[in-house]
Amino acid sequence: MKTEHIKITDIVAQENDLSRAADILRAGGLVVFPTETVYGLGGDATRDEAAKKIYAAKGRPSDNPLIIHIAEPSEAELYAKTHELYYKLAKAFMPGPLTLVLKSKGVVCKEAVCGGETLAVRIPEHKGCQQLLKAVNEPIVAPSANLSKHTSPVTAEHVYSDLNGKISLILDGGKCQGGIESTVLDVTGNIPRILRAGLVTKEMIEKVREVEKARGVVTYGV
Ligand code: AMP
Ligand code: MG
């Protein structure tokens, strides 16, 4: 497979390029896109074949679920059971580098969630990524765009060296600002649990006063 590399900018992603990317995603193909944390390797979250291709391209163990990317907090309603705490955290940190784990409604394909009953949801802030999500009008499932066990990529060149020939298109938005992955916070239980530390810290989460009031302090652990 030939991997195409197209430059987009953060501010003005060309419409044609985005609609090409959206077409590839809708056809079950893979597109790499920039976010404010690291580059993501995206596929249509409703298609098992897309998730299978992601696991294969990365060499990722197939028991490690993927995060879905959506454009607006309310879109999560379609795929997961949301609640008051979800909306409080969404108001404080979304769009941004916080991923929330919710109970799944089973709409996202089984391959992406490894047959599990939960779903990790993120709303990226990156303008080009937001435009892509709106163009494709489907949730995009995406891990970081590197080979499994390699460092998460912050440049398109890094993506290219890991995944050349395995993906159809890289949307190059320049260097990702964050460089560190999103924080993964499980809000399926009574006490929010940080499953992966990231740019949104425990302290930042606890500052959302209602979180403390409603659910007690945040803990760490799988
Ligand atoms: P990556 O795809 O490399 O950015 O990593 C995604 C992270 O989110 C991994 O640590 C996954 O284990 C975690 N993750 C994704 N989906 C879920 C889920 N449903 N429940 C718990 N953790 C999840
Ligand atoms: Mg990763």
State the residue for tokens 């709409």.
Answer: 107
Which pTM was predicted?
Answer: 0.91
DSSP 71: S
What's the pLDDT at 207?
Answer: 86
Q: Which residues pair with 133 in a beta bridge?
A: none
pLDDT in tens, 11-39: 455 777 888 999 999 999 999 999 999 99
Of the listed ranges 153-157, 174-178, 194-198, the least confidently predicted one is 174-178
In this structure, the residue with its CA closest to atom 10 of ligand 1 is 196
Residue 8 has pLDDT above 50, yes or no: yes
What's the pLDDT at 11?
Answer: 42
Q: Which residues pair with 40 in a beta bridge?
A: 33, 144
Atom of ligand 1 nearest to the CA of 152: 3
pLDDT in tens, 93-121: 999 999 999 999 999 999 999 999 999 99
CB 46 within 8 A of CB 107: yes
Atom of ligand 1 nearest to the CA of 64: 12
Lookup: tokens for 166: 């395995």
pLDDT in tens, 145-166: 999 999 999 999 999 999 999 9
Atom of ligand 1 nearest to the CA of 113: 19
93 half-sphere exposure, CB direction, 13 A CA radius:
26
Residue 144 has pLDDT above 80, yes or no: yes
CB 29 within 8 A of CB 168: yes
Lookup: tokens for 9: 């900018």
The sign of the dihedral angle between the CA atoms of 217, 183, 23, 113 is negative
pLDDT in tens, 44-95: 999 999 999 999 999 999 899 999 999 999 999 999 999 999 999 999 999 9
CB 201 within 8 A of CB 194: no
Q: Which residues pair with 183 in a beta bridge?
A: 98
What's the pLDDT at 10?
Answer: 45
Least Cα distance to 34 among 131, 99, 111 occurs for: 131
What's the pLDDT at 211?
Answer: 59
**Closest ligand by atom to 67 CA:** 1
Q: Answer yes or no: is the C-beta of 141 below 6 A from any ligand 1 atom.
A: no
Long-range contacts of 19-26 (CB under 8 A, 24+ apart): 19/135, 20/169, 21/132, 21/135, 21/136, 21/169, 21/171, 22/132, 22/135, 22/136, 22/137, 24/168, 24/169, 25/50, 25/136, 25/138, 25/140, 26/136, 26/138
**Closest ligand by atom to 99 CA:** 1
Q: Answer yes or no: is the C-beta of 196 below 6 A from any ligand 1 atom.
A: yes
**Closest ligand by atom to 122 CA:** 1
Least Cα distance to 52 among 160, 43, 25, 161 occurs for: 43
